[in-house]
A and B are shown apart, each in its own frame.
Chain A
Amino acid sequence: MTWRREHTELTTASRDAVWRRWTTASAWVEDDPSLAAAELPSDLRVGSRGTVKNHGTPRQTITFTRLVPGRAMEFVINLPLARLSFPHSMTETEHGLQVTHAVELRGLLAPLFGVLVGNGIARGLPEVVRLVVTNALAERAGSAPATAEQGDRAGS
């Protein structure tokens, strides 16, 4: 059973800049307001492990399952009887670069975890993707990264 939600932004940011944000631990914390800390190995490859810590929750181990420079990246967190994965992809189109972040749950308990954890993560996806592309743009312009406050959390 698979449960999936995704969010796509169209942007003028460059592939390289987005890729750097996907693969740099300090950028993860800047781009995802729910993250308190992230640690990634410097030589990322499929099978590499890192850790992420959300505010108010214990540190979790993540494993990279896909790394296609400038195109796609995916990492997973193993849950009891379910696998939580985060596929990232980008596609060049004639109108700009399409950047997609998804959250996917697979396994027997996927529907349950979808309700328990997936929905919360999915709600935050638009803000994260917008921060990734905005900060990727800022990287080119050489300005300070945007924060969640300057960013664009919709609604209250």
Chain B
Amino acid sequence: MSTPPLVDVVVVGAGLSGLTAARRATQLGLTTRVYEAADRVGGRVWSTTVAGVHVDLGGTFVGPGQDRIVALAAEVGVSLYDTYDTGANVVRWRSQVKRYRGTVPPLGAALLDVARIQATIERAARQVPCGRPQDAPGAAALDAQTLGGWLRQQHASRTARDLFDLVSRTTWGCDADHVSLLHVLHYIHLCGGLSSMLDTAGGAQESHFVQGSHEVAVRVAEQLGDAVRTDEPVTRIDWDDDGALVHTDRGSCRARRVVLAVAPTMRRKIRFNPELPAAHEQMAQRWPGGVLSKAYAVYETPFWREQGLSGQGLSDRGPVFITFDASPHQSREGVLLGFVGGPQGRAWDELPEAERRVRALASFADLYGPKALEPIGYIDQKWGADPWTGGGPCAAPSAGAVVPYYSHLATPVGPLHWAGTETADRWSGFMDGAVRAGERAAVEVLRSISTQADSTQADPTTEGAPA
């Protein structure tokens, strides 16, 4: 039997994080191999064409402060354009449809309460140290409750609670009752506040990519060439302090270091030998991915613009609860993007394709009128059903799952290093976080290999990587 090849670093997962780690490691002079379980690269970024129009099925928007994804995109020649943000937004709330401007919809007297809750959350978020939520004052108590539980404790109005459910669904893919308050506060702090997280102009939805976010992943993978192996899930990793032997169904590869750039819950699909410390398995169980789906309808023109509407809408009716104008750059077609998530999202995901389509279009029509029922193309993407990304948009740890496990997300175990957006120290959960985490992991690996080389030189009895 031939000896498996040896590389400096094997990267598990060719999402934006893994690809960035491999790219940066290569730039740092390390040899790499990337294993990707799916038959394509990109993970939670993916795209397709509907009625001749490009649409992003996963991660789409970027905004100010997300400079690492923007820089990576620029390096591979993928450009940005502004999200359409002209005209009035529209909200359907308690059966009434209203137009409004800005991020916060006109919800009558309840608006004051929403502002109170928002200010309280912002203040509390600033108390949570970035990258160390477990060290926040009162961390255990914050972690012991969910965002929903806390809202009730604050006597938040029903409207404020419903509104934060929508925020929670878009951001974590679950209702406010299912996500740790500590995680929410930490996440918001990592984004620089609620406004930069939720706004279009000046916020995380400000722009999107002309060629699509998936194209960034595709171009990085092209540059990495043969090093990237798709359709090859990593099944087992044998490791010791000197390195690892990474197994797939097609063979194995020796590596001085491994970067695991998969979603936390996906770590469970890999067998480790010896086993990882127990907290790792528990963390993978208690940091599940959210459930968020996307529906796109392509129209001959962006007809809502003629009505003075921006295409940004909010609805308490569902199944689509938030919409954006995702029309292509400098093209005549109009595209409405709708997010479907939370408990309604799970039920919608189960429906046959034709029924999902009818219900999503009915949601668009609720906000933009009957023309929305007549698209020239339609597609939806159910991330909760994706076998390798573990759902989306990102992990949603439940109450009590942050304090005991956060430190295990990114701390290396022997030669095993961790990447993926959830491990990022800024914009965790976003494409930018994925890129940051990949860059961090590559540098970490280089340091670790250099340190080992130094000590090997100093100690002539030490041997190289494991067989």
Residues on A facing B (Cβ under 8 Å): 5, 9-13, 95-96, 126, 130, 134, 137, 141, 146, 150-156
Contact = CB atoms under 8 A, between A and B. Distances in A.
B322 to A, nearest CB: 13
A154 B344 contact: yes
Given A9-B359, A11-B358, A150-B346, A156 B161 contact: yes
A154 B316 contact: yes
Contacts of A137: 351-352, 355
B40 to A, nearest CB: 30
Majority SS at the chain B contact face: helix
Nearest to A153: B343
Nearest to A146: B347
A152 B348 contact: yes
B362 A156 contact: no
14 contacts: A10-B373, A12-B352, A12-B355, A12-B358, A95-B358, A95-B362, A95-B373, A137-B351, A150-B346, A151-B343, A152-B343, A152-B347, A154-B344, A156-B176
Interface residues on B, range: 20 to 34
Interface in B316-351: 316-319, 342-344, 346-348, 350-351
Q: Which interface residue of A134, A141, A146, A154 has the most chain B CB atoms within 10 A?
A: A154
Given A96-B358, A126-B317, A155-B162, A150 B148 contact: no
B148 A156 contact: yes
Contacts of A9: 359, 362
B177 to A, nearest CB: 5
Contacts of A154: 162, 165, 316-318, 342-344
B350 A150 contact: yes
B97 to A, nearest CB: 14
B215 interface: no
B357 to A, nearest CB: 8
B359 A11 contact: yes
Q: Which interface residue of B342, B347, B362 has the most chain A CB atoms within 10 A?
A: B347
Contacts of A156: 148, 161, 165, 175-177
B347 A155 contact: no
A5 to B, nearest CB: 7
Contact of A152 (B165, B177, B318): B318
Contacts of A12: 352, 354-355, 358
